[in-house]
Amino acid sequence: MSDLAKYVAEFFGTMILIWLGDGVVANVVLNKSKGQNSGWIVITAGWGFAVMVGAYTVGWISGAHLNPAVTIGLATIGKFSWSLVPGYIIAQVLGAFVGAIIVYLMYMDHYAATEDPTAKLGTFATIPAIRKLGKNFMTEAFGTAMLLIGILGITNGNNQLVGGLGPLLIGLLIWAIGLSLGGPTGYAINPARDFGPRLAHAILPIPGKGDSDWGYGLIVPIFGPIVGGILGAVVYQLIMSIH
Q: What is the pLDDT along the chain (243 residues), one digit of tens a residue?
A: 799 999 999 999 999 999 999 999 999 999 999 999 999 999 999 999 999 999 999 999 999 999 999 999 999 999 999 999 999 999 999 999 999 999 999 999 999 999 999 999 999 999 999 999 999 999 999 999 999 999 999 999 888 666 789 999 999 999 999 999 999 999 999 999 999 999 999 999 999 999 999 999 999 999 999 999 999 999 999 998 886
Please give the Cα distance from 161 to 163 (Å, whole number). Answer: 6
CATH of the domain at 136: 1.20.1080.10
Domain ranges, residue 64: 3-242
Distance CA 222, CA 226 (A): 7
Give the global pTM: 0.96
Is the Cα torsion angle 45, 51, 52, 53 positive or negative in sign? positive
What is the pLDDT at residue 45?
98
Q: How many angstroms from the chain centroid is the CA of residue 109?
A: 25
193, 21 contact by CB (below 8 A): yes
Which sign, positive or negative, has the C-alpha torsion 178, 26, 59, 91? negative
SS (H, E, C) the chain: CCHHHHHHHHHHHHHHHHHHHHHHHHHHHCCCCCCCCCCHHHHHHHHHHHHHHHHHHHHHHHCCCCCHHHHHHHHHCCCCCHHHHHHHHHHHHHHHHHHHHHHHHHCHHHHHCCCCHHHHHHCCCCCCCCCCHHHHHHHHHHHHHHHHHHHHHHCCCCCCCCHHHHHHHHHHHHHHHHHHHCCCCCCCCCHHHHHHHHHHHHHCCCCCCCCCCHHHHCCHHHHHHHHHHHHHHHHHHHHHHHC
Q: How many domains does the chain have?
A: 1
